[in-house]
Structure 1
Amino acid sequence: VPRAIDAEGIRILRKDDRFNENDYVSAEWFENMPNLRYLQAENVNFQGTFPCFPTDLKWLQLERCHFDSPPADFNLENLVILDLYKTNMAPILIKQLSLRLK
């Protein structure tokens, strides 16, 4: 499990030396975070579907993250800032967001 820094509405996930390449973050991580507004993840693997992804998220920063499948159920309607530097699903997430804005 990646090292996590927590505060009310803020979650930062980063791999550290103890984090194995095969470790991942699943949707269950986000079930008890309804107040999450800022999520930063670096070098984190995400697995599964994300129907319980925080709907009031304002800032999503995913740097060099990997998704095992397209997260089609991300709710990005309230997102203000999106940073997907070297994230494998960036084109899909951007398309998903732009379709909702039209």
Structure 2
Amino acid sequence: VPGTLDVEGMEIMPNDKKWYGKCVSAQCFERMCNLRYLYVQHVNFRGTFSCFPTDLKWVFLDNCHFDSPPSDSDFNLEKVVILNLHKTNMAQILINQLRVA
């Protein structure tokens, strides 16, 4: 698909001071349709998750917060095998989605 990024894995770590506590738009992942692995610590997300990658397999969100937690339909977890939501304010929403699946 033209204009997409071939990134399959991404890590945003707290030792990378430029990201610590920063606010990131969920839409910045929109063109990463090949993203399978996402490891993020201490980042705040804003925006809607309707364009978030749907083929994620491994999701680690530690101390990440969301200005408006995604709804069940916004954040697709169908293909996720490993999920870690340590100290994340959207954990209950995603757990409920997994129960339905």
Aligning the two structures, in what range does the TM-score lie when normalised by the shorter sequence? 0.7 to 0.9
User: How far off its partner does 1:19 sit?
Assistant: 4.1
**SS of the counterpart of 1:69?**
coil
Greater mean alpha carbon deviation, residues 23-32 or residues 55-64: 23-32
1:1-102, aligned counterparts within 5 Å? 8-15=7-14, 16-19=16-19, 21=21, 23-72=22-71, 73-99=74-100, 101=101
Compute the displacement of 1:20 (Å): 6.4
* Distance apart, 1:86 and its partner CA: 0.8
**Counterpart residue type for residue 99 of structure 2:** S
TM-score by length of 2: 0.82
AA in 2 matched with 1:28: Q
Q: Could you tell me how far 1:48 is from its partner in structure 2?
A: 1.1
Give, in angstroms, the shift of residue 40 of structure 1: 0.5
d(CA) in 2 for partners of 1:94 and 1:35?
24
- Partner-residue secondary structure (3-state), 1:95: helix
- More strand per residue: 1 or 2? 1
Q: Contact between 2:20 and 2:42, CA under 8 Å: does it hold in 1?
A: no
1:79 and 1:45, CA in 2 relative to 1: closer, same or farther beyond 3 A? same
Q: How many residues align?
A: 93
Paired residue type of 2:70: P
Secondary structure, aligned partner of 2:54: coil
The unaligned stretches of length 5 or more in structure 1 are 1-6
5+ long unaligned stretches in structure 2:
1-5
Question: Structure 2 counterpart of 1:80, which letter?
Answer: V
